[in-house]
Structure 1
Amino acid sequence: MGCDGGTIPKRHELVKGPKKVEKVDKNAELVARWHYCALRQEKLCKPIVACELGRLYNKDAVIEYLLDKSSEKTVMEAASHIKSIKNVIEMNLTDNPAWNGDKGNTKGDKYDDQGARFICPVVGLEMNGRHRFCVLRSCGCVFSERALKEIKTDLCHKCGSSFQEDDIILLNGSKEEVEILRKRMEDRRVKAKSSKKPKKCKASESLSQADGAEDSPGPSDVKSDRGLPVREKIQFVSSSKDAADKGTSTSGKLSSAATKRPLANGEEKSEAYKSIFTSHTSAKRTKEQSSNWVTHTAYYF
């Protein structure tokens, strides 16, 4: 154990010096950023999304995080700025044809560098963290920074959609670059909120104008037959034709003819037609045919 039997301890055994600063392995850090989800620490698999700060997530992990409304929910620093699914961008990635998946070297008896799963469609650089990559916020296409610098255009190299310089988001950048992206994100959200307010004011003004138009009286002299039923429409048309043939020009006669129905002239009807109704004399019973007791029927008179 020491200090017995004449042993002399040394200084480094008695005095503890300052702890050595643990250095982060760069390769392990790159693998964690580019191959694993920043929210769940699971392997990235399609569909993959990126936030406005350039971090990579699995889309299902973000949806589950947003749907979790329980009080036990822990707010993650990597997703604290994500308030809705609109705050993330679904990435349009280009597969690497040389990537064999996880089936490359199953025995482990040799060194096998499989490379990255995705590449730049313009230059062909692998998206493994050694090269800087960017995503376009407008369309979601992913390119290397070298491709965007060498070929300077306002159109996407993959889908052809237009974009601006503010739409370029650097993936997994440094702390200073992340702060720049955060300022852009905050400015963009402030502009979005300010642009929504005048739209609501315009909508309220349009509603008030519509109410004023309904209250204001329209031309009352002209009468239309849109609100009338089918039979009254027919009578309205027939009465107007008759008035035109006879040369009448007053609108009061047309309105009275449209509302009043022609009375049936009893003299023109035949006896067979009259016998259908209960008011005819043939439908009435005599005193001999009627019974002694009172019946409440339609044929009792």
Structure 2
Amino acid sequence: MGCDGGTIPKRHELVKGPKKVEKVDKNAELAAKWRYCALSQEKLKRPIVACELGRLYNKDAIIEYLLDKSAERPNSEVVAHIRNIKDVKELNLTDNPAWEGERHNIKGDCYEDMHCSMFICPVVGLEMNGKHKFLFLQTCGCVFSERALREVKTEICHKCGDPFQEDVLVTLNGTKEEVEKLQKAMEERRAKAKTAKKSKKSKDTKVSKSQDSTGTISLPQEKSCIRFDHASVLSFFFSFLSAPGPSTSGESSKTLKAPPGLVIGSKRSIQDMKDKSETYKSLFTSHGSAKRTKDQISNWVTHTPYHF
């Protein structure tokens, strides 16, 4: 039973038993969620954003992903629900005054507290290290602990003062059940926005179809539709100018009222209208007084106005 060198093997070296289940270190798991980006696995640094499911990312990593979605990246399934930059919210975090950074322990001769975090709750001072539940507001991006929102009940943000409701609260790095609940709420919210956009688009198409090819616009709210065009508006305006003034006999002047329905104006010349005065006709270039004789028309062109 001896091997080379006179060694005697033991039972656990000859008989292979069942493998032990590897246990994840809780400190390492918390550090991975609260100190590193969920997409790039790099250390979190400002600006930090969060999605509708409560995951933390570096903003530059999200922008790189949105610019080139075809590139192969690890953990790309965690950002599959992010369509554009509007699906993430930049967080308004509060710095921890006790955080000394990572450079103080470069040599490795100091004790490093893994539970010390870069950020804290601005109300009760709890560190954002994963031991306590934290939430952020989708409206303003401010981050608070659940204890602060539970003990100080208010409908106004503690940090910026903006009003908010409970449906805009999102749990950061929540449990599996909380993530499923947030995903369901996200899908419902997106479905409502999609239906609202479709209804608005259908209304716009109905309004555009109501405009005919001549450029007239009908008012569908009233029963009797009034149609306007350029010719009818001009004819009404000039008829108002040519109306006689108030009489000197003391009679009250009659006010000119618009007809109930404006008819499309004709295309005949104003000079052919017999009901118009000669003074009124002379206002237009089609009148004989506006035409030049052959002696007045020059046979050369100049770019200076100093000729007669």
What's the TM-score once normalised by structure 2's chain length?
0.71
Aligned residue number for residue 25 of structure 2: 25
Cα deviation, 1:23-76, whole Å, max 9, x if unaligned, reads 000000111110100000001111100011111000010010011044756771
CA contact (8 A) 2:94 2:120 kept: yes
Any runs of at least 4 consecutive aligned residues in structure 1 with deviations exceeding 4 A, and if so which? 3-10, 71-75, 263-266, 276-279
Aligned residue number for residue 120 of structure 1: 121
C-alpha displacement of 1:210 = 4.5
Find the residue that maps to 1:262 and give its secondary structure: helix
C-alpha displacement of 1:172 = 0.7
Aligned residue number for residue 232 of structure 1: none
Aligned residue number for residue 302 of structure 2: none
From the two aligned structures, give the one with the greater helix fraction: 1
Q: Distance in 1 between matches of 2:291 and 2:55?
A: 87
CA gap of 1:2–1:183, structure 2 versus 1, over 3 A, is: farther
CA gap of 1:85–1:264, structure 2 versus 1, over 3 A, is: closer
Aligned residue number for residue 189 of structure 1: 190
C-alpha displacement of 1:107 = 3.3
Code of the aligned partner of 2:117? A
Aligned residue number for residue 203 of structure 1: 204
Q: Does residue 100 of structure 2 align to residue 100 of structure 1?
A: yes
Code of the aligned partner of 2:208? L
Find the residue that maps to 1:49 and give its secondary structure: strand
Cα deviation, 1:234-255, whole Å, max 9, x if unaligned, reads xxx9xx79x98xxxx9435355
Q: Distance in 1 between matches of 2:85 and 2:181?
A: 22
Q: Find the structure with the greater CA-based Rg.
A: 1
Q: Distance in 2 between matches of 1:187 and 1:264?
A: 72
Q: 1:262 aligns with which of 289, 292, 306?
A: 289
CA gap of 1:160–1:263, structure 2 versus 1, over 3 A, is: closer
Code of the aligned partner of 2:197? K
Q: How many residues are treated as equivalent by the alignment?
A: 253
Identity of aligned residues (%): 58
CA gap of 1:97–1:256, structure 2 versus 1, over 3 A, is: same
CA gap of 1:224–1:197, structure 2 versus 1, over 3 A, is: farther
Q: Distance in 1 between matches of 2:7 and 2:292?
A: 143
C-alpha displacement of 1:278 = 9.1
In structure 1, list runs of 5 or more residues that go unmatched.
226-236, 267-273, 280-301
Q: Distance in 1 between matches of 2:169 and 2:200?
A: 28
In structure 2, list runs of 5 or more residues that go unmatched.
219-226, 246-273, 300-308
CA contact (8 A) 1:155 1:161 kept: yes
Spell out the pairing of 1:134-283 with structure 2 (5 A cutoff).
Answer: 134-211=135-212, 213-214=216-217, 216-218=227-229, 219=232, 221-224=235-238, 250-251=275-276, 253-259=278-284, 260-262=287-289
CA gap of 1:26–1:74, structure 2 versus 1, over 3 A, is: closer
C-alpha displacement of 1:277 = 9.1
Cα deviation, 1:71-117, whole Å, max 9, x if unaligned, reads 75677111111111111111011111222222323333221438211
Aligned residue number for residue 133 of structure 2: 132
Aligned residue number for residue 291 of structure 1: none
Cα deviation, 1:163-205, whole Å, max 9, x if unaligned, reads 2212111111111111111111111111111110111112122
